[in-house]
């Protein structure tokens, strides 16, 4: 999936994450994570984000995640939604997300 | 023999002068100074001294920063700061550590930017964290020798009688300050109002006070109830509170004349509400409630459900008002409350205490001082004192906060040892200390959801995954004292999380 424009998903509520995806054409993946779980779960959250981007076929993107205690499923959902919006996806590929 | 001032022949005193009756009556107002600077001139300050403060204004305190700044301006250095606690209001002390005004800190609590900076290695000497009872023990025994106590009070009279209930900025109990006032070599009162003599009741007494300074404000009473004492509407905290109350009731504690304490924090405070319902249903009354007194406990007292309120710290303005109005609401000092080295303290008379926790481990050790990132952000308070004293110690915590599980293999920092914890109540089940098999049996028979601690930990991690350990380096930034003065744990500096 090609990231065409900047888009976000999620909120700053407890248990959620606000994920923002920006174009990074030819620059690969860059990932920034901030939040209260970063010390204990930073590596896990980043691994989930990378796996999600990979399953969506995103090769170039600048991703920032501000987590407020989100579990892995929430990270996946918010990141997928943000990627979809940033790539201008109209028909959501549910089978990829499953 | 010598002849004295009234013409009588009396034995000459050894080394002393005779014939003068020692001192003239103290002139009214002679202790009152019109500025902190003048008062400091009068009492004589010096580098290296130990200065103490109280935290009855909690987040609203204005005294500590003002006094330390005034001492810094006079070139005083190497202070040992011994306040009863420090809060986010005390961020400006970072600069006073950097410029050498403060050398060492001992306190019950530490939060906010100052706590962050100390965790990051601001101070050469580790901060010493003690409990309220441990602090009273150290000061009463002279282990901490307070050279000068700077005590903010809403009002006093011109000879130094003071309490926390008179005046515009009433903060309620002065329980921590009373220990300082009777032990410090010099006592300086900072007061908002000077009221007619004799002000009573005198929590701090004229015979303890060297100097009085009138200041515009010692603290913002609105800051007293901030943070720690909110009444929760969070359904999960209410669930935990109601389970805790059911367990306390099933354990047979809620009977005529029982006694209770509840800590600050959502679920712990909310237990009061459910215990009230149980007391009404069973038709029993408590003999006393202890500790930090909240509006919830005041309500029970005013309804006649709790006999006496023993108040070492008023947690909100309702409590401050009640202390002035209700004869059964009594101010007690921190030694009466929890000093383990004297001949008796009130925590030993507790039937049940409900306490919050940031982390609990498989041995039921409790951490209330360092966060999940290893950074200092809490207070020891009366946690280990009441846990040791109470017949039934109940620790309440949500199983998961955000993504962070509350139950770990080992807590980051031990404040309260697991041997003094009887029950761990979470939103997903209750664990009983293996030392209390009879209690476990009783609660199981009552149909309460009893689980092993390890089971609760696995359940949490089934949602969150196992947390990675915080990485620390070898630098010790804090020491945690148990109430008897032994060191129960050391707080190391967390390596900045590389992201």
Judging contacts by C-beta atoms under 8 Å, the chain B residues touching residue A67 are: 403
Q: Give yes or no for A38 touching B (CB within 8 A).
A: yes
Confidence at B8, pLDDT banded by 50, 70, 90 = confident
B489 in any annotated domain: no
CB within 8 Å: B497 and A33: no
Q: Give yes or no for B499 touching A (CB within 8 A).
A: yes
Residue B115 has pLDDT above 60, yes or no: yes
Pairing of strands B407-408, B378-379: unpaired
CB nearest to B373's CB, from A15, A39, A68:
A39
Residue range B218-258, pLDDT digits in tens = 988 777 665 445 678 899 999 999 999 999 999 999 999 99
B268 in any annotated domain: yes
> Which residues are bridge partners to B110 per DSSP?
B378
Of B102, B450, B56, nearest to B220 (Cα)? B56
State percent of chain B over pLDDT 90: 87
B490 in any annotated domain: no
Same domain, B319 and B456: yes
Interatomic CA distance for residues B276 and A39, integer angstroms:
40
A44 in any annotated domain: yes
Interatomic CA distance for residues B137 and B179, integer angstroms:
10
Same domain, B206 and B266: no
Interatomic CA distance for residues B13 and B17, integer angstroms:
7
CB within 8 Å: B468 and A67: no
Q: Give yes or no for B341 touching A (CB within 8 A).
A: no
Task: Please state the pTM of the whole predicted model.
Answer: 0.94
Residue range B361-400, pLDDT digits in tens = 999 999 999 999 999 999 999 999 999 999 999 999 999 9
Q: How far is CA B233 from each of CA B228, B272, B276, B343, rounded to the nearest angstrom?
A: 14, 14, 17, 41
Residue range B12-61, pLDDT digits in tens = 877 666 555 656 667 778 999 999 999 999 999 999 999 999 999 888 89
Q: Give yes or no for A34 touching B (CB within 8 A).
A: yes
In the structure encoding, which two tokens stand for residue B381, read together? Answer: 């308070």
**pLDDT value for B21:** 60
B269 in any annotated domain: yes
Same domain, B410 and B460: yes
CB B199 within 8 A of CB B163: yes
Of residues B1 and B35, which shows the higher confidence score? Answer: B35
Q: Is the peptide bond before B201 cis (omega within 30 degrees of 0)?
A: yes
Average pLDDT of the segment spanning A83-88 = 94
Judging contacts by C-beta atoms under 8 Å, the chain A residues touching residue B402 are: 14-15, 36-37, 68-69
Interatomic CA distance for residues B83 and B107, integer angstroms:
6
CB nearest to B464's CB, from A32, A43, A71:
A71
The alpha carbon dihedral of B32, B35, B39, B41 has a sign of: negative
CB nearest to A42's CB, from B404, B464, B499:
B499
The count of other CB atoms within 10 Å of the CB of residue B340 is 21
CB within 8 Å: A40 and B404: yes
Q: What is the CATH number of the domain that holds A35?
A: 3.30.230.10
Q: How far does chain B reach from its first CA to its final CA, in angstroms?
A: 85
Residue A91 Cα, gap to closest chain B Cα (Å): 30
Q: With left for phi above 0 and alpha for psi between -120 and 50, is residue B453 left, alpha or beta? A: alpha
A69 in any annotated domain: yes
Same domain, B217 and B281: no
Residue B463 Cα, gap to closest chain A Cα (Å): 7
The count of other CB atoms within 10 Å of the CB of residue B356 is 21
Q: How far is CA B100 from each of CA A53, B9, B69, B118, B128, rounded to the nearest angstrom?
A: 51, 57, 12, 14, 18
Same domain, B215 and B249: no
Same domain, B204 and B306: no
Residue range B440-454, pLDDT digits in tens = 999 999 999 999 999
* Helix or strand holding residue B105 (H, E): strand B102-107
Q: What is the CATH number of the domain that holds B130?
A: 3.40.1080.10
Same domain, B255 and B334: yes
Residue of A nearest to B461 (CA): A71
Domain with B79, as residue range(s), is 32-223
**pLDDT value for B19:** 58
Same domain, B301 and B416: yes
Judging contacts by C-beta atoms under 8 Å, the chain A residues touching residue B465 are: 41, 44, 72
A97 in any annotated domain: no
Same domain, B287 and B362: yes
Residue A57 Cα, gap to closest chain B Cα (Å): 24
Confidence at B498, pLDDT banded by 50, 70, 90 = very low
Residue range A56-78, pLDDT digits in tens = 999 999 999 999 999 999 999 99
A98 in any annotated domain: no
The alpha carbon dihedral of B392, B397, B398, B400 has a sign of: negative
CB B40 within 8 A of CB B74: yes
A96 in any annotated domain: no
Domain count, chain A: 1
Same domain, B386 and B263: yes
Same domain, B52 and B166: yes
Domain count, chain B: 2
CB nearest to A44's CB, from B465, B497, B499:
B465
A35 in any annotated domain: yes
A–B interface: beta-carbon pairs under 8 A = 53
**pLDDT value for B16:** 64
A67 in any annotated domain: yes
CB B211 within 8 A of CB B33: yes
Domain with A81, as residue range(s), is 7-87
Residue A98 has pLDDT above 70, yes or no: no
Residue A22 has pLDDT above 50, yes or no: yes
A14 in any annotated domain: yes
CB within 8 Å: A37 and B401: no
B282 in any annotated domain: yes
B334 in any annotated domain: yes
CB B386 within 8 A of CB B291: yes
Indicate which of B403, B405, B497 best probes the interface with A, i.e. most A CBs within 10 Å of its own CB.
B403
Report DSSP state, residue B7: S
């Amino acid at each position: 999936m090609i990231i065409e424009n900047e888009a976000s998903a999620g909120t700053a509520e407890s248990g959620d994450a606000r994920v923002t995806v920006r174009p990074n054409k030819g620059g690969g993946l860059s990932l920034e994570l901030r939040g209260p779980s970063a010390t204990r779960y930073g590596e896990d959250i980043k691994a989930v984000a990378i796996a999600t981007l990979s399953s969506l076929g995103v090769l170039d993107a600048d991703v920032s995640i501000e987590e407020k205690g989100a579990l892995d499923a929430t990270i996946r959902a918010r990141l997928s939604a943000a990627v979809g919006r940033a790539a201008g996806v109209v028909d959501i590929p549910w089978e990829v997300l499953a | 023999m010598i002849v004295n001032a009234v013409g009588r022949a009396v034995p000459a005193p050894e080394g002393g002068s005779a014939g003068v009756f020692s001192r003239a009556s103290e002139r009214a107002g002679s202790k009152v100074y019109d500025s902190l600077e003048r008062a400091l001139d009068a009492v004589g300050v010096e580098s290296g001294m130990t200065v103490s403060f109280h935290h009855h204004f909690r987040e609203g305190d204005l005294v500590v920063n003002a006094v330390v700044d005034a001492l810094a301006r006079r070139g005083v250095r190497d202070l040992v700061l011994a306040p009863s606690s420090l809060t986010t209001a005390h961020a400006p002390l970072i600069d006073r550590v950097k410029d050498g005004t403060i050398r060492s800190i001992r306190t019950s609590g530490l939060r906010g930017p100052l706590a962050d900076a100390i965790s990051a290695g601001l101070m050469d000497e580790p901060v010493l964290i003690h409990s309220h009872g441990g602090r009273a023990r150290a000061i009463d025994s002279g282990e901490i020798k307070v050279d000068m106590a700077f005590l903010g009070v809403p009002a006093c009279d011109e000879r130094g009688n003071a309490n926390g209930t008179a005046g515009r900025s009433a903060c309620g109990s002065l329980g921590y300050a009373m220990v300082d006032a009777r032990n410090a070599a010099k006592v300086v009162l900072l007061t908002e109002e000077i009221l007619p003599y004799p002000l009573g009741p005198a929590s701090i007494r004229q015979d303890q006070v060297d100097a009085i300074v009138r200041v515009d404000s010692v603290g913002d009473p609105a800051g007293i109830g901030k943070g720690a004492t909110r009444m929760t509407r969070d359904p999960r905290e209410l669930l935990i509170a109601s389970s805790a109350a059911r367990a306390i009731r099933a354990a047979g504690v809620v009977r005529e004349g029982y006694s209770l304490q509840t800590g600050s924090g959502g679920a712990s405070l909310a237990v009061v509400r459910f215990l009230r319902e149980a007391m009404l249903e069973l038709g029993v009354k408590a003999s006393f409630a202890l500790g930090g007194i909240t509006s919830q406990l005041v309500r029970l007292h005013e309804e006649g459900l709790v006999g006496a309120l023993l108040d070492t710290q008023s947690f909100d303005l309702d409590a401050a008002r009640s202390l002035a109005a209700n004869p059964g609401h009594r101010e007690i000092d921190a030694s009466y409350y929890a000093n383990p080295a004297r001949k008796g303290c009130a925590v030993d008379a507790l039937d049940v205490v409900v306490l919050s926790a940031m982390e609990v481990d498989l041995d039921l050790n409790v951490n209330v001082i360092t966060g999940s990132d290893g950074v200092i952000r809490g207070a020891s308070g009366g946690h280990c004192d009441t846990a040791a004293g109470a017949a039934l110690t109940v620790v309440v915590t949500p199983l998961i906060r955000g993504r962070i599980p509350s139950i770990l293999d080992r807590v980051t920092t031990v404040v309260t040892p697991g041997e003094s914890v009887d029950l761990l109540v979470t939103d997903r089940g209750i664990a009983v200390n293996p030392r209390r098999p009879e209690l476990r049996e009783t609660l199981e028979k009552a149909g309460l959801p009893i689980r092993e601690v390890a089971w609760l930990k696995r359940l949490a991690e089934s949602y969150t995954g196992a947390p990675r350990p915080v990485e620390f380096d070898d630098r010790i930034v804090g020491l945690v004292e148990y109430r008897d003065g032994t060191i129960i744990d050391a707080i190391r500096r967390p390596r900045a999380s590389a992201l």
